[in-house]
């Protein structure tokens, strides 16, 4: 299998590295216009180019990681090279319908990863167009699993998942910053506050995913009546933190829907 990544920026370079390190591809090719900026990828056995058509032409599977506004131009450029091939788009907001209209003979998969692809701990949700066979899906899943955890979703849920897991590294970091700053003000060294909260985030994630504990069981086990956690949760309830988080996520979903509608309207005549 030869896999080409077009748009090897933050996400694309990490995808190229994960694929090269996993050994699932015979060749991994990474392309961007300023290819000098990714020469370090050669150390991982990745071929580097600024020739999108060559990269797409040599590949069995093409992964597109350019910004949403650049997707149309890139697909138009490589449309001859991607006929009958699987093309995985990681661009936010660009629908399968729009992708298919730009290159009707390609087979598309739309993925919403998150920044944790950099450490192979992404949560990647994907949807496929009707031409993707079950054999194609197996190949796609093999690729996406090198980046972390995956799940197939109805494409209509992409805006929701964007606001939830696509944005999560940012809003969870925002929460870590607020919590650790409170402790730094009390004299705790900043690096300890950061490690304490980040490791606690990893640990809580593992308790939920691997520890067979539900959200309520975790809360119940930690929040002893009359204790410190209970006091924190009481204050969070008084400040209506849950309602405010829900409102923030809803704002994200609505924004994602507006961006998707505008972008896809501009992509399809
Ligand atoms: N960052 C996130 O947290 C995140 C999460 C989920 C999804 N995504 C999606 O992932 C995609 C990439 O995001 P990113 O954060 O990695 O952006 P990025 O760092 O800006 O990477 C995009 C890359 O595309 C390259 N590019 C632009 N035009 C090109 C062309 N015509 N041919 C080849 N390469 C081209 C750019 O390099 P040159 O200028 O050198 O060409 C740039 O390095 C976006 O569509 C975004 O919606 C990102």
Are 113 and 175 found together in one domain? no
Q: Among 6, 9, 93, which residue has the most ligand 1 atoms within 8 Å of its CB, making it the best to mutate?
A: 9
Are 229 and 129 found together in one domain? no
Last residue of a domain, one of 155, 179, 206: 155
Q: Is residue 269 part of a domain?
A: no
Q: How many domains does the chain have?
A: 2
Are 173 and 135 found together in one domain? no
Q: Among 8, 32, 111, 252, which residue has the most ligand 1 atoms within 8 Å of its CB, making it the best to mutate?
A: 32
Q: Is residue 253 part of a domain?
A: no
Please give the number of the atom of ligand 1 that sits closest to the Cα of 89. Answer: 45
Average per-residue pLDDT for the chain: 97
Query: Is the full-model pTM beyond 0.75?
Result: yes
Are 125 and 185 found together in one domain? no
Are 72 and 183 found together in one domain? no
Give the model's pLDDT for residue 268: 73
**97 pLDDT exceeds 70?**
yes
Q: Among 66, 119, 171, which residue has the most ligand 1 atoms within 8 Å of its CB, making it the best to mutate?
A: 66
Q: Which residues pair with 86 in a beta bridge?
A: 61, 107
**Average of per-residue pLDDT across 9-23:** 97
Are 205 and 129 found together in one domain? no
Residue 251 pLDDT class (50, 70, 90 cuts): very high
Are 178 and 201 found together in one domain? yes
Q: Is residue 252 part of a domain?
A: no
Please give the number of the atom of ligand 1 that sits closest to the Cα of 77. Answer: 31
Give the model's pLDDT for residue 269: 60
Q: Is residue 258 part of a domain?
A: no
Q: Is residue 261 part of a domain?
A: no
- DSSP per position, 162-206: IIIIISHHHHHHHHHHHHHHHHHTTT--HHHHHHHHHHHHHHHHH
CATH of the domain at 123: 3.40.50.720
Residue 66 pLDDT class (50, 70, 90 cuts): very high
* Strand ranges for 32-165 from DSSP E: 47-49, 61-64, 86-89, 107-112, 122-128, 148-152
Span from the CA of 93 to the centroid of ligand 1 (angstroms): 13
* CB-based pocket (< 6 A), ligand 1: 6-7, 9-12, 31-34, 52, 65-68, 70, 73-74, 90-92, 112-115, 166
Are 171 and 150 found together in one domain? no
Are 135 and 42 found together in one domain? yes
Q: Is residue 139 part of a domain?
A: yes
> 19: domain range?
2-155
Measured between alpha carbons, how far is residue 202 from residues 65, 128, 172, 194 in Å? 27, 30, 11, 12
Are 40 and 93 found together in one domain? yes
Are 57 and 103 found together in one domain? yes
Span from the CA of 225 to the centroid of ligand 1 (angstroms): 49
Give the model's pLDDT for residue 212: 87
Q: Is residue 149 part of a domain?
A: yes
Span from the CA of 10 to the centroid of ligand 1 (angstroms): 7
- Token digits for 200? 């606690």
Last residue of a domain, one of 134, 155, 176: 155
CATH of the domain at 228: 1.10.3730.10
Write out pLDDT tens, residues 99-130. 999 999 999 999 999 999 999 999 999 999 99
Q: Among 14, 16, 33, which residue has the most ligand 1 atoms within 8 Å of its CB, making it the best to mutate?
A: 33
Give the model's pLDDT for residue 18: 97
Please tell me whether residue 65 adopts helix, strand or coil conformation: coil
Closest CA to 115 of 177, 40, 65: 65
Q: Is residue 268 part of a domain?
A: no
Rounded distance between C-alpha atoms, residue 240 and residue 261, angstroms: 32
- Name which residue leads in pLDDT, 269 or 145: 145
**267 pLDDT exceeds 90?**
no
Span from the CA of 214 to the centroid of ligand 1 (angstroms): 36
**258 pLDDT exceeds 80?**
yes
Are 79 and 108 found together in one domain? yes
Last residue of a domain, one of 120, 155, 190: 155
């Amino acid at each position: 299998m030869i896999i080409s990544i077009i748009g090897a920026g933050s996400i694309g370079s990490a995808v190229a590295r994960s694929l090269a390190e996993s050994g699932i591809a015979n060749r991994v090719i990474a392309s961007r216009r300023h290819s000098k900026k990714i020469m370090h990828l050669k150390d991982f056995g990745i071929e580097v180019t600024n020739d999108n058509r060559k990269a797409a032409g040599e590949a069995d599977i093409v992964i597109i990681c350019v910004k949403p506004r650049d997707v149309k131009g890139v697909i138009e450029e490589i449309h001859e090279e991607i006929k009958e091939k699987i093309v995985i788009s990681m661009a936010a907001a660009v629908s399968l319908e729009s992708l298919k209209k730009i290159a009707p003979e390609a087979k598309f998969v739309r993925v919403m990863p998150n920044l944790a692809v950099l450490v192979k701990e992404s949560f990647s949700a994907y949807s496929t167009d009707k031409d993707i066979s079950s054999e194609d899906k197996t190949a796609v899943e093999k690729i996406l699993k090198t980046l972390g955890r995956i799940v197939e979703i109805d494409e209509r849920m992409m805006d929701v998942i964007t606001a939830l897991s696509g944005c999560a590294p940012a809003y969870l970091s925002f929460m870590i910053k607020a919590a650790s700053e409170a402790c730094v003000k009390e004299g705790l060294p900043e690096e300890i506050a950061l490690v304490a909260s980040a490791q606690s985030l990893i640990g809580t994630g593992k308790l939920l995913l691997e520890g067979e504990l539900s959200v309520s069981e975790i809360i119940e086990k930690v929040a002893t009546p009359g204790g410190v956690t209970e006091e924190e949760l009481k204050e969070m309830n008084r400040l209506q933190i849950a309602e405010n988080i829900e409102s923030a996520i809803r704002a994200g979903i609505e924004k994602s829907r507006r961006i998707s509608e505008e972008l896809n309207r501009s992509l399809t005549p």
